[in-house]
Structure 1
Amino acid sequence: MKKSFCQSCSPTGQMFASCCPLADFSFCLVFRWSRYLKIKFTKNDSIQAEVDLLGYCAKEWKEETEQARQMREAYEELFWKHHVKYIRQVREDNYCVLRAVLFQIFSQGIPLPPWMKAIDVLKLPEKLLYSQGCNWIQQYSFGPEQYTSSNTLGKLRKCIDMLKNQWVEISSIKDPYERGNLCSALFGDESTEHQMYEAVKFIMLYQVIEAYECLANKEHIPSFFHLLFTRDTSLDPLSYMMNHLNSVGDKRGLDQVDMFLLGYTLKVKIIVYRPFKFNSADFQVNYMEAYQRDWHEVFLLTEDDQHYHIPVTQI
């Protein structure tokens, strides 16, 4: 007898409107658990388990230098006043910001942004190429992968499809423990990870293109876009892609203005703790604009503005 799958257990990633009444519930549980175990035992530890924040600090900053003393004070401030009790270390590569932000979105069960539900995001590559004349998007580069095929649009669709399916599936899981386990497993699969990050990068590019057209039509755009378009290296979407996005994941991470763009694209507030800026106004930086206060929050912690980890208030 052919098995039916419920919404979150389809092996092909196909999403159904509701659980099929013929679905074998026990079979679905076994399928989901076996998938989790398969990924878990091949995981690459891109996001580590929670460790005590002050214990981490004592290990990393044990010297008796002025810098180390300041860092210890900063971590104590985070522990007592900001209620950060744990830290999850994130692999220190050029995807670390995307990894840390997307992991929190998934683990919190934050739903897909409304704008991504309102349009067919899978058709964005074709829309930009054929409807908006952006034939230059075929020069899009996929991070550290040396991709030279002519089928850039097909690869972009595959990446976007992976991101959307995983996002919808995981956000539909109501049990936070089960959702957390599946997130940990998902972010242990490097191939899947990289596809999702490349999808996020391309959707960020889409937002830049939309904002540039609004600017040309003298329409209102969020203020950070003005900063982005005044840089010599990102005067327009093409230069932004060629000089910035194409190398993210390969030679560089995200700049400060990119953090605004990332939060705006995913509709989350990105709040960053910077212990190395302790006792200054830059100790905590909020990447959002005033009207975005009702968005979900994700938190990052950085000691150098290059590599980012995840601060945790509770497990």
Structure 2
Amino acid sequence: MNYCPIFKKLHATKEHFVLNMSLLATALWYCRQLYTYIAHLLKRWSRYLQKKFTKNQSVLGEVDLLSYCAKKWKGETEQARQMRKAYEQLLWRYDVKSLREVRQDHYCVLRAVLYQIFRQGLRPPSWTKAVDVLKLPEKLLYSQGCNWIQQYSFGPEQYTGPNTLGKLRKCIEALKNQWMEISGIKDQYERWNLCNALFNDESMEHKLYEGVKFMMLYQVIEAYECFSNKQKGLPRFFYHLFIRDTSSDPLSYMMNHLNSGDGRGLDQVNMWVHHET
């Protein structure tokens, strides 16, 4: 019997099988390389989007209180131990379980306070309901002789000039309207969503903070007049405020603390008053 044709056919089939397996292996290798490359691109793009989105956020999401503390206050220095103890007290005594980080800039203290006010839907103060609240800048300039109000600086914008009063009115109006709108929202999640959107709008944020700064200045001017006339009943921190060289009167308070300066003025004045009260 002649087995050669069968042998040749089997040999050809084997070569064809080996060739197909080689092509399949090559195709799989290229697919794997392509998958790795695409995964790498997606990872880089995801990091870019996350970084870009986080950069635009002025208030980040909630993080566990003690985990944040452990990350920020490592080591066995006296300060680190004291800070860890303070964070633990927040948890056990006041049931504070989480916190949010805010963008660190000239407005960081105001940002932290105003975010909490809006998120909790606290009612606006009485001055927001006054019909002439938008006229307070003109009142200070023309009725109370505070012509130095035109030296007011709008955050990093070192601005002086005749448009100061108009810019202040817009900031007060933005603060009043946003505060009244957010406090009127009863649904908690709707209020939180609006609050988060608001604190991602840098332009609006700055208007709100400048509105708060001006109202701080206005309150200081009113208190200083009572202080100069030796009227009683002022909150205790005003007396401490006016005995400092950096805020002995409303003008020095504005120039040294409310105007941007080196970016630390607002932190200093707010932390100091908080400590005294």
Residue number in structure 1 paired with 2:88: 76
Q: Does 1:48 pair with 2:60? A: yes
TM-score where L is the length of structure 2: 0.73
- Superposed displacement of residue 203, structure 1: 0.8
Is the 1:50–1:88 Cα contact (8 Å) retained in structure 2?
yes
Q: Which protein has greater RCO, CA pairs closer than 8 Å, 6+ apart?
A: 1
Look up the equivalent residue of 1:235 and give its one-letter code.
Answer: S
- Residue deviations 1:56-115 (CA, integer Å, cap 9, x gap): 123223435554444333323322222110011111212111001011111111111123
Distance in 2 (CA, whole Å) between partners of 1:80 and 1:177 is: 27
- Residue deviations 1:272-292 (CA, integer Å, cap 9, x gap): xxxxxxxxxxxxx583xxxxx
Q: Does 1:89 pair with 2:106? A: no
Look up the equivalent residue of 2:75 and give its one-letter code.
Answer: E
Tell me the C-alpha RMSD between the 2 structures.
Answer: 2.4
Is the 1:94–1:248 Cα contact (8 Å) retained in structure 2?
no
Distance in 2 (CA, whole Å) between partners of 1:122 and 1:138 is: 16
Look up the equivalent residue of 2:59 and give its one-letter code.
Answer: I
* 1:229–1:111 Cα change, 3 Å: same
Q: Does 1:168 pair with 2:180? A: yes
Residue number in structure 2 paired with 1:222: 235
Distance in 2 (CA, whole Å) between partners of 1:249 and 1:106 is: 28
TM-score where L is the length of structure 1: 0.65
Distance in 2 (CA, whole Å) between partners of 1:103 and 1:118 is: 23
Identity %: 70
- Superposed displacement of residue 181, structure 1: 1.0
Look up the equivalent residue of 1:224 and give its one-letter code.
Answer: F
Unaligned runs of 5+ in 2: 1-52
Residue number in structure 2 paired with 1:241: 254
Is the 2:152–2:164 Cα contact (8 Å) retained in structure 1?
yes
- Superposed displacement of residue 257, structure 1: 6.0
1:179-218 equivalences under 5 Å are 179-218=191-230
Residue number in structure 2 paired with 1:254: 267
Unaligned runs of 5+ in 1: 1-40, 261-269, 271-284, 288-315
Residue number in structure 1 paired with 2:118: 106
Distance in 1 (CA, whole Å) between partners of 2:85 and 2:246 is: 38
* 1:107–1:251 Cα change, 3 Å: same
Look up the equivalent residue of 2:135 and give its one-letter code.
Answer: K
Distance in 2 (CA, whole Å) between partners of 1:250 and 1:212 is: 25
Is the 2:63–2:100 Cα contact (8 Å) retained in structure 1?
yes
* 1:144–1:256 Cα change, 3 Å: closer
Is the 1:95–1:253 Cα contact (8 Å) retained in structure 2?
yes
Distance in 2 (CA, whole Å) between partners of 1:239 and 1:67 is: 33
Distance in 2 (CA, whole Å) between partners of 1:165 and 1:43 is: 27
Distance in 1 (CA, whole Å) between partners of 2:197 and 2:55 is: 7
- Superposed displacement of residue 46, structure 1: 0.9
SS in 1 for 2:103: coil
Which structure shows the higher strand fraction?
1
Distance in 2 (CA, whole Å) between partners of 1:231 and 1:66 is: 30
Is the 1:49–1:88 Cα contact (8 Å) retained in structure 2?
yes
- Superposed displacement of residue 219, structure 1: 1.5
Q: Does 1:126 pair with 2:130? A: no
Distance in 2 (CA, whole Å) between partners of 1:63 and 1:258 is: 25
